[in-house]
Chain A
Amino acid sequence: MYAAVRINEIICIGCKKCIYACPDPNVLSFDEETRKVSADESRCKGCGLCVSECPKDAMSIY
């Protein structure tokens, strides 16, 4: 893994904008109970589109 997204679950408001912005399938998922987004880092290519779209700065690429 070279670069991948990390989500701060405390800040995430579950708006799903990142999910609609990700060019790769099955990377980001939405938990309907906690209403938070989580990432499968092994599938992430680290493009950062989700970071650009997140209105709360809850995501970063490391």
Chain B
Amino acid sequence: MWSKKGRIEDLIFWKGNMEVEAYEYDEGNAGKKFIEGIKEGKFYGIKCSSGKVYVPPRDYCPEDMTEGNYVELTEPYLDLLTEVREDSYGNKLEKPIKVGIIRFLNAKGGIIVRVEGDAKEGDKVKVIKWEWPLVVGKA
């Protein structure tokens, strides 16, 4: 007989905060260019000698380890869309948050964004707020 009750109310939990120190993370050259681009209201990627474009940009092209050239990307589209209804503790959110991934035609990679309005997967989108997290809406 399995005497497990399985009810979360019957369990004892210890909750707390781990003592963790602040850290500094270097975004690298390409990361810096990308962040600067966002501040200017632009998306930068890199174009490699193979013709492939990567977004966000990388420091090196994965095919031949050469440095690519920065290119500006335009006309993002919403590739994936999902809705967050609970916070990480299982509490119901007052208003669901829409989260999606935007991509660009002929470019590899994507950017995770907040989505406002009724944009659907496949729709062309425009950036409403050029700050983190990026907020996009139907173009």
Bound pair (A, B): no
Q: Which residues of B contact A (CB under 8 A)?
A: none
Q: Which residues of A contact B (CB under 8 A)?
A: none
